[in-house]
Amino acid sequence: IVLTQSPATLSVSPGGSATLSCRASQSVTFYLAWYQQRPGQAPRLLIYDASNRATGIPARFSGSGSGTDFTLTISSLEPEDFAVYYCQQRSSWPLTFGGGTRVEIK
């Protein structure tokens, strides 16, 4: 299953909001996760099964969608939120990741 993320880069002002998209080449029902990766760090799980926040993830991160279209919304961006975000499906083997969206400071 191919995951296509858009846009490739998103420029947002601190305190603003960001909407990231992940589209699957076929339905993954709700078996989609989102990760944040800061420079030089490993990815961090944010959202699992489309809309569930992982432990310790702030409420400003929210996920939605099902089937083939998914969205990660980040509200009131904090300085530490400027990073690259990846989606990942677990609906079928092999596990696959999207190409990533970079959220940069405007």
Q: Which stretch binds another protein (CB under 8 A): 10-18, 59-67, 68-76, 92-100?
A: 92-100
Residue with tokens 């989606």: 87
Q: Which of 101, 94, 83 is nearest to 28 (CA)?
A: 94
**Where would I find the beta strands (DSSP E) of 1-106?**
3-6, 9-12, 18-24, 32-37, 44-48, 52-53, 61-66, 69-74, 84-89, 96-97, 101-105
DSSP 76: S
Stretch that binds another protein, among 11-19, 65-73, 74-82, 95-103 (CB under 8 A): 95-103
Q: Does 44 bind another protein (CB under 8 A)?
A: yes
Residue 56, interface with another protein (CB under 8 A)?
no
21 is an interface residue for another protein by CB under 8 A:
no
Query: Can residue 42 be called a binding residue for another protein (CB under 8 A)?
Result: yes
Task: Give the C-alpha separation, 19 to 28, whole Å.
Answer: 20
Taking CB under 8 A as the rule, does residue 30 contact another protein? no
Q: Does 57 bind another protein (CB under 8 A)?
A: no
Interface residue list for another protein (CB under 8 A): 31, 33, 35, 41-45, 48, 54, 86, 88, 90-100
